[in-house]
A and B are shown apart, each in its own frame.
Chain A
């Protein structure tokens, strides 16, 4: 018996050594604790011990089945799990929601981002103005910025929200960004695609679920229709022809992971009761005359269902996904937005898709618009000089510095880091104060690189035009004779001579104003 006790005590270590048997992994993401490094400093200040505890919590043997076992016990006996307490709200008929979605339905979510409705309104107005400015700065260059708002679950299926979940008190302020921005964007003329409205219209006629009962994002199948609408909107906005989406025959199947993402967080042993959902494969019509623009999507997790299901390479020349304007996906060269030269990226992109669902509108596009406006209107040297001035003014204020020194000591940072963070906070909070060009309704000031935009070769739009001209040249035997002569004369390959000629033709067209890709504000 005591030997058995030994086996029991060593079971976890043995599982880690041999990694057998294998278990279903836990779903959801957590902040991974890196393997702690043992050295005298980390040991003596206790950080090694703390990190080891945390690391072992995430890596002990039998972790997966044990956590599922405990969660299932809590679920069966008390109808909850640790995750359900803060991240899931249980509605009627087995429907589950994220709590912030429910709060937004009752128009109280804004309190997590502002002290009162007035402040929230001011912030949203400021962001709408910046969207308008950016849109109008980009338009003359044939670049289109638009806001696309996917629906949220509470908006489409409020009837399954739980009773008595309205936490508003009598006379308490309420507001929801989704209603405010709709009116404000229309008033200013900001390009805006309200997919929520489309979904509401679809709800009565669609014979499929627009949202899964135990997921938080739109259903995989419904998001394909949203993608189709999005492509048509881009065609309309840019006055271009893009490849059309073809949605294949649908099949009924058990929920894929994305359609039960909230349920997955519960990490139970047994699945929750839920219906089957439709799934289909999306292709394109292979239209060879269609253009393939480059689109950057800055947005939240609703985009995953689109980018994972669509044949993106057939529709777009490039389609980086700037997740919450932080981590970059679908871009070989960059991993984080901090690595990106913003002006370069903007000038080489045709469409900017600001894709935030209604509960994420309070994030103000994660400051993309502020950073883009400053980068487009000011040269790097000017920005650096303004930043230096701000930091200088901070350092000259002894009381301010006293506070920052205290912060540096409590946060374990250097004073330079804290001053730099304070400067970033100030610029983010008051961009127009420090960059006065942004005060104009549409700023006229431009960075030198932006002014010189038409001479850049890297534009995908120009690249596509060049490709078209190359095809035309190749089709004409007479022109090809002339190109072969040029190649021999200048000691070039025929391909190089062909490309140079096509490049010249396109540049000439642009300079003469023959080739333009202007658009107008569209809804």
Chain B
């Protein structure tokens, strides 16, 4: 189940909140747990049992780990507790990828390929496997005590607002809130507003822009296309003029931000309605003055996870500069691979890793010297170009698109019949760079981080209610295209 669907918006969410708030405070976690199980079972029925079983196993392994005094056993149990979720992640997410590459190598030797039945990727596995790891490691390190109740732990792992696409919530950040939390009327209303903001980002911006990106570049996953369709995409991209190529890449740059940030906003909003304070995941990343800053603002919970559970254990910057650069690069390479099991994600991660290293070596100083506006523009354009490798699964096609961007055969206003695309991109750009100004920062602070007066609540609620209704309309009307009569 995704948030931007009728099942969630018009049925699951209202029913859940009704039951949740009618239930006595002590039993609300059970309602949330049950709803989360239903939420996940709806989208991944074949995986729900494995998810629950692995979560239960982890809970008892960690309990055992905390009780034992033997250091060796403690380490072993910690290792097993990490291997279970990471093993599932490796199997489900990277099984197909590994076999494809293995068979490609076997093919080079002239041998018959290994038979392998493709496996489906369970939704949210990248997120809940990482959360499971944070629980084990935080408990092992003594940052937090283990959960006393199994249901609370299962809830932490599969809580539906953040189950599918994060934010990745560290155990230590949410453990106390699971045990006890308050949800004031202000929280509930602010949560609703935040949810609607996220819904607008997703439906009114990301989906509108995404439709045009898909029309040029095809769907994100080419495995469902036949050779003819892929060939069509190649010839379409090969014939793009530079203006169109830039518009397509910029459109995707905005699409991915508003899609992902929108989903995070919805998750944070849903959590806040219940009294949870989930960590922020995005902080105006396109206003960054360097790639290093970009990563402090983009998918912040992933950055924190990698920092705490990968970069620091690898040695961080404690083992010399060369090792630090290597560690950084490894982290970004793996971060790329975490985003998707395909070489284009590896290239995307590797490029970011290289630029981070370059930042530390010299680029950061250059960016500081050239001033705010040029550095923001340069960083944004760099990120924009690298996003091409993220969007286009085929490396050759990604390279072709970049070549078209730099072919310098510009035309005036492609997509001339699509004013909606331009208007939406302008709105996206406005909100992406809005906080560069002090006024923008003030507005952001007011909207997201300040309590409203009653009068303000009424005004904002009316806007949010209209936006919610409009999003539901857009969600359902965007592909309502009837015929006069049926044709056979």
Assuming A2-B185, A74-B420, is B11 touching A56 (CB within 8 A)? Answer: yes
Q: How far is the CB of B38 from chain A (nearest CB, A)?
A: 12
Interface residues of B in 25-56 (CB under 8 A from A): 42-43, 45-46
Given contacts A30-B480, A46-B45, 11 further A-B contacts (CB under 8 A): A6-B18, A13-B10, A56-B11, A60-B10, A77-B423, A85-B481, A87-B481, A216-B484, A262-B484, A267-B482, A323-B488
Chain A 48-79 per-residue mask, 1 if CB under 8 angstroms from chain B, else 0: 01001100110011010011011101100111
A-B contact pairs, 19 of them (CB 8 A): A2-B188, A9-B14, A28-B483, A28-B484, A30-B481, A30-B482, A49-B45, A52-B7, A56-B6, A56-B10, A69-B470, A70-B476, A79-B419, A86-B481, A265-B483, A300-B487, A304-B485, A323-B488, A324-B487
Q: How far, in Å, is A69 (CB) from chain B's closest CB?
A: 5
A83–B480 contact, CB under 8 A? yes
Check A324/B488 contact, CB under 8 A, given A5-B189, A13-B11, A56-B10.
yes
Q: Hey, what's the 0/1 contact readout for A240-281 against B, CB within 8 Å counting as 1?
A: 000000000000000000000110110100000000000000
B461 touches A44 (CB 8 A): no
B461 close to A49 (CB less than 8 A): no
Q: Is A226 an interface residue (CB 8 A)?
A: no
Q: Which residues of B lie under 8 Å from residue A66 when comparing CB positions?
A: 469, 472-473, 476-477
Q: Which residues of A from 311 to 328 have beta carbons under 8 Å from B? A: 323-327
On chain A, the residues within 8 Å of B482 by CB distance are 26-30, 83, 265, 267
Take A77-B420, A78-B420 as given contacts and tell me if A5 and B484 are in contact as well, using a CB distance cutoff of 8 Å. Answer: no
Whether, in the assembled complex, A43 has its beta carbon less than 8 Å from a beta carbon of chain B, the answer is: yes
Known: A6-B18, A8-B468. A67 touches B6 (CB 8 A): no
CB within 8 Å for A82 and B17 given contacts A60-B476, A63-B476: no
Given the complex, which residues of A lie within 8 Å of B221, measured CB to CB?
none
A100 to chain B, nearest CB (A): 10
CB nearest to B42 among chain A residues: A49
**Interface flags, B137-156, vs A, CB<8A=1, else 0:** 00000000000000000000
Cα–Cα distance between A77 and B417 once the two chains are bound (Å): 12
- Residues of A with C-beta under 8 A to B487: 300, 324
Asked if B411 lies at the interface with its beta carbon under 8 angstroms from chain A, I say: no
B465 within 8 A of A: yes
Q: Which of B18, B423, B483 contacts A29 (CB 8 A)?
A: B483
Q: Is A197 located at the chain interface by the 8 A CB criterion?
A: no
Query: How far apart are B139's CB and chain A's nearest CB, in angstroms?
Result: 35
Q: Are A5 and B192 in contact (CB under 8 A)?
A: yes
Q: Do A78 and B419 touch across chains, with their CB atoms under 8 A apart?
A: yes
A4 located at the interface, meaning its Cβ lies under 8 Å from any Cβ of chain B in the complex: yes
**Per-residue A-contact encoding for B274-295, CB less than 8 Å = 1, 0 else:** 0000000000000000000000
Q: Is B478 an interface residue (CB 8 A)?
A: yes
Q: Across the two chains, which residue of chain B brings its CB closest to A52?
A: B7
Judge whether B5 is part of the interface by a CB distance below 8 angstroms: yes
- How far is it, in angstroms, between the C-alpha of A49 and the C-alpha of B43 when the chains are bound? 8
Q: How many Å lie between the Cα of A74 and that of B477 in the bound state?
A: 10
B183 and chain A: residue at smallest CB distance: A2
Contact with A along B445-488 (1 / 0, CB 8 A): 00000000000011001000100111011101111111111111
Q: Which 6 A-B pairs have the closest CB atoms?
A: A28-B482, A70-B477, A9-B14, A66-B473, A70-B473, A326-B488
In the bound complex, what is the Cα–Cα distance between A46 and B45 (angstroms)?
8
Pair A2/B45 contact, Cβ less than 8 Å: no
The distance in angstroms between the C-alpha atoms of A52 and B12, with both chains bound, is 13
Any A CB within 8 A of the CB of B104:
no
User: Is the CB of A1 closer than 8 A to any CB of chain B?
Assistant: yes
- Which of B10, B42, B480 has the most chain A CB within a 10 Å cutoff? B480
Q: Counting CB contacts under 8 A, is A366 at the interface?
A: yes
- Determine the distance from Cα of A57 to Cα of B474 in the docked complex, in whole angstroms: 12
Known A2-B185, A29-B485; judge A8-B465 contact (CB<8 A): yes
Q: Tell me, rounded to whole Å, the shortest Cβ–Cβ distance linking A39 to chain B.
A: 12
Tell whether A10 is near chain B: CB-to-CB under 8 Å.
yes
Closest CB in chain A relative to B28 CB, distance in Å? 16
8 Å CB interface, A122-136 against B: none
Q: How far is the CA of A338 from the CA of B486 in the complex (A)?
A: 17
Smallest CB–CB gap between B277 and chain A, Å? 18
**B407 at interface (Cβ–Cβ under 8 A)?**
no
The minimal Cβ–Cβ distance linking A254 to chain B, given in whole angstroms, is 19
Q: Judge whether B13 is part of the interface by a CB distance below 8 angstroms.
A: yes
* Cα A13 to Cα B472 with chains together (Å): 13
Kindly list chain A residues whose C-beta atoms are within 8 Å of the C-beta of B483: 28-30, 87, 265
Question: B470's contact among A10, A70, A77, A262, by CB below 8 Å, is which?
Answer: A70
Which residue of the partner chain, among B478, B480, B484, contacts A261 with CB atoms under 8 Å? B484
Cβ contact of B484, chosen from A63, A74, A265, A325, cutoff 8 A? A265
State in angstroms the CA–CA spacing of A300 and B488 once bound together.
Answer: 10
Interface size range of chain B in the complex: 35 or more
Interchain CB contact under 8 A, A67 and B45? no
Q: Of B188, B458, B469, B484, which is in contact with the most chain A CB atoms at under 10 Å from its CB? A: B484
Distance, CA A139 to CA B45, complexed state (A): 63
**A44 contact from B43, B45, B477, Cβ within 8 A:** B45
A12 at the interface (CB under 8 A from B): yes
A33, CB-defined interface residue at 8 Å: no
Closest chain A residue, CB of each to CB of B486? A29
| Closest Cβ–Cβ distance, residue A38 to chain B (whole Å) | 12
Give the Cβ gap from A27 to chain B, nearest Cβ, in Å. Answer: 7
Q: Determine whether A37 belongs to the interface, using a CB cutoff of 8 Å to chain B.
A: no
Tell me the nearest residue of chain B to A30, going by C-beta.
B482
Q: Report yes or no: A1 in contact with B458, Cβ–Cβ below 8 A.
A: yes
Report the bound CA distance from A2 to B483 in whole Å.
41
A67 and B14 form a contact (CB under 8 A): no
Name the one of B185, B189, B481 contacting A83, with C-beta atoms under 8 angstroms.
B481
Cα(A261)–Cα(B482), bound, Å: 11
CB–CB B461/A5 < 8 A: yes
A484 within 8 A of B: no
Q: Contact flags (1/0) for B391-435 with A, using CB distance below 8 Å?
A: 000000000000000000000000001011001000000000000
CB distance from A60 to the nearest CB of B (A): 5
Q: Interface code B186-223, partner A: CB below 8 Å = 1, 0 otherwise? A: 00110010000000000000000000000000000000
Does A301 count as interface, using CB distance less than 8 angstroms? yes
Residue on B nearest A84 in the bound complex, by CB: B481
Tell me whether A80 is interfacial, beta carbon within 8 Å. Answer: yes
Given the complex of chains A and B, what is the CA–CA distance between A300 and B483 in angstroms? 14
- Give which listed residue, A2, A10, A53, A265, contacts B6 with CB less than 8 A: A53
**Chain A residues within an 8 Å CB radius of B472:** 12, 60, 66
**Chain A residue contacts of B188, Cβ below 8 A:** 2, 5
User: Which residue of A has the minimal Cβ distance to B477?
Assistant: A70
Binary contact readout A171-199 vs B (1 if CB under 8 angstroms, 0 otherwise): 00000000000000000000000000000
Decide: B480 and A82 in contact? CB cutoff 8 A: yes
When C-beta atoms are compared, the residue in chain A nearest to B10 turns out to be A12
User: What separation, in Å, do the CA atoms of A86 and B211 have in the docked complex?
Assistant: 14
Once the chains bind, are A44 and B46 in contact (CB under 8 Å)?
yes
Closest-by-CB residue of A relative to B5 is A53
Q: Is the CB of B189 within 8 A of A13?
A: no
Q: Which B residue sits closest to A86, measured CB to CB?
A: B481
Q: Which residues of A contact B486 (CB under 8 A)?
A: 29, 327
**Closest A residue, CB atoms, query B46:** A44
- Note all chain A residues with C-beta closer than 8 A to B11: 13, 56
Nearest chain A CB to B477 CB, angstrom units: 4
Once the chains bind, are A43 and B461 in contact (CB under 8 Å)? no
Contacts of B45 in A (CB 8 A): 43-44, 46, 49
- Interface positions, chain A 365-408, Cβ under 8 Å from B, are 366
CB nearest neighbor in A for B417:
A80
Contact of B14 among A10, A63, A74 (CB under 8 A): A10
* Interface 0/1 of A482-508, CB less than 8 Å to B: 000000000000000000000000000
- Tell me which residues across on chain B come within 8 A of A87, comparing CB atoms: 481, 483
**A1 interface neighbour in B417, B419, B457, B480, Cβ under 8 Å:** B457
Whether the pair A4, B14 counts as a contact (CB closer than 8 A) is no
Across-interface contacts of B480 in A (CB, < 8 A)? 26, 30, 67, 82-83, 267
Residues of B within 8 A of A69 (CB): 470, 473, 477
- Contacts of A326 on B, CB cut-off 8 Å? 488
